[in-house]
Structure 1
């Protein structure tokens, strides 16, 4: 498995048109490409965990979504419902994103994506946003410490399989 993750910015006027372009790049390069709202992601390990769980659910025939890219978004969201997962993807307007390119011709896919996405420094989500998105309580944060909120997010992702 080849995986490339980088941060960037892009301005989106037409979400579905932009997603069609990204899907075309994915198809042309044999890659799965997912763009995540960086404001809701606890760093690269968050995405790596979502990929691992999504690939395993497909391999075991226990996937919730029809496509691997949507299954990855489902896991990244920490929810079992496909309808909630798009909140973690592209939105209209200016987007700070993480770009995931999985398998296929990853370098060619990255070169094509860079025509849409201006690569930037990595941006991590604010603790308040992660608390809200993943239902993390103040009590939980007091136990582990605020600097370990990303571990609680990874725990939520792992728990999706237990909730099935």
Structure 2
């Protein structure tokens, strides 16, 4: 008889111990409130969402729970969804990140947690920018890297 080795499940550690679902919900709700009132990004999002923000907010809460709490619940494909948005330009990423950074600093009491959340957003924005707007030899704009990216 053959013995089958069973490995223990991989432990998924949150990005920071102080981050919880309430903070993620607050992050998403507050961030998208800022997006809605932004002169440039508000219309871009509204054109796609058409007033029905609930499903998008739920999807983003699942996305950020997957990123920050390592839940694995988000099953979407963000690159193809964003790739179709031909009206998006490089400066939109700067606006998005400025709003996101300010929101993260507002929502997360722990500065270390806020910094981790912001760094994750910068990585995501960089990946999306590269997929949507870059050519093979383009260098990502410095604003995608925040303070840590100065001099890149």
> Please, what TM-score do these two structures have when normalized by structure 1?
0.27
Larger Rg: 2
Higher relative contact order (CA 8 A, sep 6+): 1
Which one has a larger percent helix, Structure 1 or Structure 2? Answer: 2
Which one has a larger percent strand, Structure 1 or Structure 2? Answer: 1
> Please, what TM-score do these two structures have when normalized by structure 2?
0.28
